[in-house]
Structure 1
């Protein structure tokens, strides 16, 4: 592990580094040995034992270069003064410190390497006339420059790979966040659709069942009509539920059910009236609203009738639609106070009015609902009349 907590090079990379350092040092050591043999005939005991031992120590020190990069690099470079075989280890240390791409550290190790190369000439003097000082300095500087350039290239490559890895991880996190947000929105949409489809129909069924249970003096024909209405309402609820589930599954080739629109509001009112709800409809709309506005208008009326059937059974309900392209669309659902409180408190889902407020807001409108002074309730939605090309899906 390196100091940043990331996995360091594996054993294979460590072996390759040590092998490369040895491959560079061995030819230098042999070359010096040949020159010494020509000079004295015997290279000496230090050359045969001490020089290899120092080189082995330098190679082993390279194993800790990740944990103590500058210390190991300076130690190996300085130790290479007493070992020709350690030349490869010194160049490997300079290359390793260069991967950090810190100019001060690279300059310090490079100067130490050039200085060590000059001092090594006193340990193993070359026979014949010595080379000019500038030549040996230039050769050592060129060698150090090549090692530093290779190390900086490796460091740049590592930074690029690290940046790509971080970007990939960031993209994965963003994708996971978007997927979680999409699942959250989809759950809310499913809950809203299920409420809109089932709450209205089941409320009408409950209204008919309550009438059948509390009114004991109904004629046989009236009782049969109520029972038939309950059966038909339950069947329609199942059909509508099946249609919603079919759309949510998005089966390939499956035809979508007809879209809701303002034109179907009279049918909605007629169904509520047939279920026993005392509802009247007044329409004063000039023109045909956009599809999104029409669907929202339908849902507003549906929610208003559902709440009236649940909380004020038997109370008269009045639905008013008015407006046009110049003034927008106004939808009002007003119910009078209930003659009597429901025998049982109706269940509250919590999705009705909050979901309707969100739906109206997506259409660019506003929704208000509050009790009236006569203990009734009113639901008012004001919707814009957008141009068809700018219509947003709701």
Structure 2
């Protein structure tokens, strides 16, 4: 809503309430004038046409502060209504406004003051007929006060309900915003992890081959041709795998997931590393077929380990061990010896192993990595491998 509209709307609401209060007091003022003796308004009862309206106007003016000082304003107007029948409407509005706070003690005090003050009007004006028994004289003020209190309590309850609904809506909106931010962060992490897993490995191998071409000047023509072909093939494969990753990220989350690398592609991974110049040996003693999640995680562990070996220890022997059986664990170990030749420290993000540890933790496994006593590096992963077939048979 426009900021200029809100104050204008509040001003109109204030105005029509004051007009309603003034209009509500008119029937009480006229009823008093009817029961007075003929000619009294210009003689002993001149207060009815002079002081009574002035007190009512004062009460209407005081009502402007009823939101800031509800109890004080209600008491003042209730007492003043005893000297002005035209101010009865203002007194009822003040009582209704104060009742919206739903404080029983304050409501009871103001209601009693209003009923007691209403009896003063009987003393101000000499009526021409008896006003009946005392309980009847109190019935009309008590009834009008009860109606005002009921309306005020209902308005207060409605305000509390609206406030509660508004707070719940704002809370739901904040939660929705937080969920959307979390989903965006998770999606960014997912994209970063997949891009790192795919591109870091391929680009590291390409960089390794390019480094060999740059540093070794004694290579034969055939060796140069082999390295150049490897760089071209690695770049092409990097683009192909990037395309595959983007296809996975754009795929329908409710649809079937495209095939991901698993244990069956480990020999291909090792062969690519050897083609790029790494001295890699592989020992595999795996019995059974692990789940897609375990197989994919194992593949990513080896991929990250080979990438780091190519970056930090080019030319060093790398030994990979993969062993495990269903119902136990899948053990992955990658050990590389120290670098055979000193190299410049390659650029690194530092998040590869962190992302890998998160990936392993999601499967319920453990990842550890540390330097060895001979100056090499060892990376191990233990991935749980529940025996689903055994569970189904039992």
TM-score scaled by structure 1? 0.91
**Between 56-65 and 211-220, the greater mean CA deviation after superposition:** 211-220
Alpha-carbon shift at residue 387 of structure 1 (Å): 5.8
Aligned to 1:382: 382
Match of 1:281 in 2: 282
Could you tell me how far 1:19 is from its partner in structure 2? 2.1
After TM superposition, give the deviation of residue 270 of structure 1 in Å.
1.2
CA change 1:253–1:188 in 2 (3 A) is: closer
**1:2-151 alignment to 2 at 5 Å?**
10-38=10-38, 40=40, 42=42, 44-151=45-152
Confirm or deny: 8 A CA contact 1:191 1:351 kept in the other structure.
Answer: no
- 311-320 or 173-182, which deviates more: 173-182
Report if aligned partners of 2:99, 2:152 keep a CA contact under 8 Å in 1: yes
Distance 2:158 2:235 in 1: 68
Please list every run of 5 or more consecutive structure 2 residues that lacks an aligned counterpart in the other structure: 1-5, 390-394
In the superposition, relative to structure 1, how do residues 159 and 8 fare at CA in structure 2: closer, same or farther (>3 Å)? Answer: farther
Contact 2:319 2:334 (C-alpha < 8 Å) held by counterparts: yes
The 2-side partners of 1:373 and 1:244 are apart by: 38
For structure 1, which segment, 155-164 or 27-36, has the greater mean C-alpha deviation from structure 2 after superposition?
27-36
Residue 392 of structure 1: aligned partner? none
Query: What is residue 339 of structure 2 aligned with on the other side?
Result: 338
Structure 1 pair 288/179, CA: closer, same or farther in 2 (3 Å)?
A: same
Measure how far apart 1:56 and its partner are.
Answer: 1.1
Q: Does 1:209 align with 2:216?
A: no
Q: In the alignment, is the contact (CA less than 8 A) between 2:327 and 2:386 conserved in 1?
A: no
Quote the Cα distance in structure 1 between the aligned partners of 2:217 and 2:41.
131
Q: Relative to structure 1, is the Cα distance of residues 61 and 223 closer, same or farther in structure 2, using a 3 angstrom cutoff?
A: same
Q: Give the CA deviation at 1:12.
A: 1.8
CA distance in 2 between counterparts of 1:217 and 1:16 reads 99
* SS of residue paired to 1:10: helix
Deviations 1:322-362 (CA, angstroms, capped at 9, x unpaired): 011132100111112221122x2111111111111111111
Q: Distance in 2 between matches of 1:198 and 1:205?
A: 10
Deviation track 1:61-108 (CA, whole Å, cap 9, x = no partner) reads 111100111111111111111111111111111101100001111011
> Helix, strand or coil: the match of 2:85?
coil
Per-residue deviation at 1:217?
Answer: 2.0
Matches within 5 A, 1:246-261: 246-250=247-251, 257-261=258-262
CA contact (8 A) 2:366 2:383 kept: yes
Distance change >3 Å, CA 153–CA 35, structure 1 → 2:
same
Which residue in the other structure is 2:3 paired with? none
Name the CA distance, whole Å, in 1 between partners of 2:195 and 2:144.
76
Q: Please say if 1:311 is aligned against 2:312.
A: yes
Worse-superposed segment, 174-183 or 365-374: 174-183
1:95-132 C-alpha deviation (Å, 9 max, x unpaired): 01100001111011001001011112111243222310
Are the equivalent residues in 1 in contact too, given 2:52–2:85 (CA < 8 A)?
A: yes
Secondary structure at the residue paired with 1:213?
A: helix
TM-score, normalization by structure 2: 0.91
Conserved? CA contact 1:296–1:359, under 8 Å: yes
Structure 1 regions of 5+ residues with no counterpart? 1-5, 390-394
1:131-177 per-residue CA deviation (whole Å, 9 max, x = no partner) reads: 10011123222221111011000000000101111111122222222
Q: Give distance in 1, aligned partners of 2:257 and 2:365.
A: 27
CA distance in structure 2 between the aligned counterparts of 1:165 and 1:236, rounded to whole angstroms: 55
Structure 1 vs Structure 2 CA RMSD? 2.3
